[in-house]
Structure 1
Amino acid sequence: MALESERKYGVDDLRAVRRLLETKEQAILLGEYFESNRIFDWPDRALLQQRKLLRLRQGGRTVLCLKSPPAGEHPEDLKVWQENQTEVGSVHETAAVLGQLGLRVVLEYEKIRSKWRWGACEVCLDRVPFGRFVEIEGDEPELTQVAAALELDPRRATTATYHELNPAAGTKDSPERYVSFVFSEPERSALRQSCQNGNVESCL
């Protein structure tokens, strides 16, 4: 079990951020890939009502993760989750097990991710269908120091999730609060192929 603290920054040019990371001795590239995510819930959306998120992610590794609200109070300028996750062998078999338990896919989303380690922080360059973001996970003050070193604009910082940032999503009290976001064809296939060929930078 771990607490995940993060902040996102909207950016216009992810490739420029990536080139800057390459010049920093502290920055270590962990992986780059096309990422697919499926969120599971009970038919009555019981997990959503408990502010929990059960995610099956494929990209780099296949990971099953449950995010829950943390106990206690935390800084308002950080998104904080309690996170339990484990790597699984087969995305298809894991999805089948969840389905047999009565869980169903309630939304899907995709991103292209370039993942880096900077000290105790994790830095992710994410291209999603509706924008480009740098997500930094770590503790203050190192998180803010990394953001400053990457010349990220603090005015474009947010603690919102991608689901909340999605322009197609509904309001907080709307039944359509969370909406899937995936790349459209033929762009999706082209991006997947570029990532498989190791050319993720061109897709950012």
Structure 2
Amino acid sequence: MEHLEIELKFIMPNRSGLRDRLLDLGAACTGKRTFEHNIRYETADGRLQKNNCLLRLRKDQGTTLTFKSPPPTTDTRFKIHRELEVSVGDFDAMDAILNALGYCRCQVYEKWRETWQLNDATLCLDTMPFGRFLEIEGSPDTIMQNVHALGLNWERRILSSYLAIFEILRDKAGLPFSDVTFDNFNTVNIRFDRYASLFEAGDRGGQ
């Protein structure tokens, strides 16, 4: 089913403090912390990335195929994409089908995710190989409600995807790899807070 994905991210240095705050607000944890293995696919001519599209196969507790494309309208307050998503029964078979159709594996990325529900929005406590983040997904109104409830600094919101963040980090820090895996980041010493200002949106779009 197609829908608009509307979200924001914030850097989350204090996971335990955020959990306490969520519990105080009556949020519900919707499942155990889960490891995600993602593969991003591309055409030989790089057409998907050129058109700001993403084709991804994800394996966590199940397997999900996702296609993201630009939204019909823009809103600089939020990160918005049009999203098509379907559950798949066999990860390896779907990977083989995509390759047979001309979509090649171009990048692997990993994540640990813990999901909560609060004020009709989904809040994800994400651990990426390069840092910890809070992602809030919902309608514009419910996102804003949660930003205020959690006492988050609106000007420090992040509108970039995790892969876009990584590309800037790779350029600035001279990282010698393209796969966003925990093993790869174990070989480098990088402080994400040094680069935080490159991703935070500032006062763009107002409140």
Superposition TM-score, scaled by structure 2 size: 0.79
Alpha-carbon spacing, 1:107–1:2, altered in 2? closer, same or farther (3 Å):
same
2:131 aligned with 1:131: yes
Equivalent residue, structure 1, for 2:170: 169
Q: Shift of residue 186 of structure 1?
A: 11
Question: Counterparts of 2:12 and 2:97 in 1: how far apart (Å)?
Answer: 38
**1:151-176: CA deviation from partner (whole Å, max 9, x where unpaired):** 323232110111121253349xxxx9
Counterpart code for 1:3: L
Structure 2 unmatched runs, 5+? 187-207
Q: Shift of residue 121 of structure 1?
A: 1.0
Equivalent residue, structure 1, for 2:8: 7
Query: What secondary structure sits across from 2:77 in the alignment?
Result: coil
Equivalent residue, structure 2, for 1:75: 75
Question: Counterparts of 1:185 and 1:139 in 2: how far apart (Å)?
Answer: 35
Question: Counterparts of 1:20 and 1:144 in 2: how far apart (Å)?
Answer: 16
Question: Counterparts of 1:2 and 1:103 in 2: how far apart (Å)?
Answer: 23
Q: Contact 1:54/1:65 (CA < 8 Å) preserved in 2? A: yes
Query: What secondary structure sits across from 1:143 in the alignment?
Result: helix
Q: Relative contact order, CA 8 A, sep 6+: which one is greater?
A: 1
Q: Contact 2:4/2:81 (CA < 8 Å) preserved in 1? A: yes
Structure 1 unmatched runs, 5+? 188-204
Question: Counterparts of 1:132 and 1:185 in 2: how far apart (Å)?
Answer: 16
1:13-162, aligned counterparts within 5 Å? Answer: 13-25=14-26, 27-31=27-31, 32-71=33-72, 73-162=73-162
The number of residue pairs the alignment matches comes to: 180
Q: Contact 1:43/1:103 (CA < 8 Å) preserved in 2? A: yes
Identity %: 31
Question: Counterparts of 1:55 and 1:126 in 2: how far apart (Å)?
Answer: 18
Give the root-mean-square deviation of aligned CA atoms.
2.2
Superposition TM-score, scaled by structure 1 size: 0.80
